[in-house]
Amino acid sequence: MSALTTRAIALVALFAALIAVGALITIPMFGPVPFTLQVLFVLLAGLILGPWAGALSVIVYLMLGLIAPVYAGGATGLGALFGPFGGYLVGFVLAAVVTGLIGRRASRESVIQLTLAGLAGLVPIYAIGAAWLAWQLHTANYHSVVWGGILQFVPLDTLKAVAAGFAVKALASLPVGLPALREPR
């Protein structure tokens, strides 16, 4: 990654703030992990900022959460980061990278390709999140982990990936010059 410009730093901070705002919207689900809008903003960070600046925005958000109540449900600190939903938070970093890398090759006119990039970004969130959840809950119960950690989130997270695809397509048509919205190389 080359040196970040002032504009890139501002965009990283903006997406860190958007992820924090997404955490304020929580809906309790089966188990300790709530539904939030964070995933939408993580996918957008990868698609709009690219893999490295997108991941940096998630890291800034995670660091902010160590001192401010910006995790889901107003949680903060190491206890929240290393608690039951900590794996999902860590998975956000890889999700931004995966989404950004695949999104680089997607046509900015193809909502399907952009959505597929977003769906690919869900894989590290679910993989790390569910494994971490199983470890935190001291269970190897397949049903509890797969249902409570993955399947219940798939329908709404799929909608978030579609929404991210449409948002990126709309933003790409505007003359705002966002980094990853240029046509793929």
pLDDT average, residue stretch 3-7 = 86
Q: Assess whether pLDDT exceeds 80 at residue 148.
A: no
Query: How much is the pLDDT for 2?
Result: 62
Q: Is residue 58 exposed (0-12), middle (13-18) or buried (19+ Cβ within 10 Å)?
A: buried
Residue 134, pLDDT score? 87
Looking at residues 19-43, what average pLDDT do you find? 89
The structure's pTM equals 0.91
Q: What is the CA radius of gyration of the chain?
A: 16
Query: What percent of the chain is predicted at pLDDT more than 70?
Result: 94
Domains, the chain, in order of start with CATH, read 6-175 (1.10.1760.20)
Query: Of 43, 73, 12, whose CA–CA distance to 167 is shortest?
Result: 43
Tens digits of residue pLDDT in 64-89: 999 999 999 889 999 989 988 899 99
The CA distance from 62 to 30, in Å, is 24
